[in-house]
Amino acid sequence: MIPRAEGWVDFSAVKRRVSLEAVLRHYQIPGLRRQRDQLQGRCPIHRGHRDDSFRAHLTNNVFHCFACQARGNVLDFVAAMEQCSIREAALRLQQWFGMSAAGRLYPAAADRQNQKLVRKEEGSNPPLRFALTGVETNHPYLAQRGIDPATAAEFGVGFYPGPGLMSGCIVIPIYNPHGQLVAYAGRALDGQSPKYKVPAGFRKTPELFNLQRAVATGSKTVIVVEGYFDCMRVHQAGFPWVVALMGSSLSVQQAALLGHFPGVVLMLDGDMAGRTASQAIAARLSGWRSLQVVRVPDDSQPDQLSSSAIRRLLAAVGCLNEGAMVKQKP
């Protein structure tokens, strides 16, 4: 009999043991309404405005969003929420719901050991052996999102007209904590779903977008936002000590990376999902030396705010004079 490798996943057992309803409770998805054996509401994956596009069929343990066309089982849902592979989604579910690799439930006391296993399995993203060329940093879409040419050039963000997975997308380089390029994220411009794509096998959990620049500032405080464009807009407003989660959840590895900074300022989106995520992350970081939560205006996100509005919000939590690198931009 061949022994099972460490981190082996029984996908069938995970789907059988973990209900979609339990996962929705884990994410604390707000506003879901029950109708018989269904839950429906606003889609937590693409965060659309329709409050009836997302349907979770509890009996069949499947979901479907009629707006972004995301669908599938509990593994597909977690993979979409975490922007990870199906295998990584299964490992997360095993961790969150206390399952052994064989699909058996085990006591909560074993969570820490399992967490170590997941962290070991996830590892890190290998550096890319190439860089995309011909990226157009002056594309009109960037101006529409409020990104000026200097910021676009600094981040290496722009339209990629070449071949491959990122063809026709706004590409966003992602670097690891050592400053090595590990992936490109692509923002679709043709209205196709998903809006963002990353290469197969890329792991979001070991990375914080823009960490290498934030650490280089020497700041004792880091500002944490959700998305790439949130990060670039806050950076552009004069706060280069900003990082993005690339989502609304904080992984174990990302929390460890925040250890570069004694102080953390959470500046997540002003929708219900962002508010909920802020509360959950603040609770996890409650032991931090300094922790502040910025309340972004309702139904807004940092990349939709002017630089002056961003500065006012951060000044309210004592961030304006942090460090010596504040750039006054309109």
Q: Which domains are present in the chain?
A: 11-122 (3.90.580.10), 140-197 (3.90.980.10), 211-315 (3.40.1360.10)
Spell out a b/e string for 41-67, using b for 16 or more CB atoms within 10 Å of the CB, else e: bbbbbbeeeeeebbbbebeebbbebeb
Calpha distance 295→275 (Å, rounded): 8
Mean pLDDT of the chain: 84
> What is the average per-residue pLDDT within 196-209?
91
Q: What is the pLDDT of residues 10-25, one digit of tens each?
A: 788 888 888 888 888 8
- Residues paired with residue 265 on neighbouring β-strands, in sequence order: 223, 292
Q: What is the pLDDT of residues 106-129, one digit of tens each?
A: 333 333 433 443 344 346 899 998
Contact by Cβ (8 Å): 188, 46: no
Q: Write the DSSP assignment of 60-98 as a string of letters.
A: TTEEEETTT--EESHHHHHHHHHT--HHHHHHHHHHHTT
Of residues 293 and 322, more confidence is placed in: 293
Amino acid 180: pLDDT: 93
In this prediction the pTM is: 0.63
Answer whether residue 29 shows pLDDT above 90. no
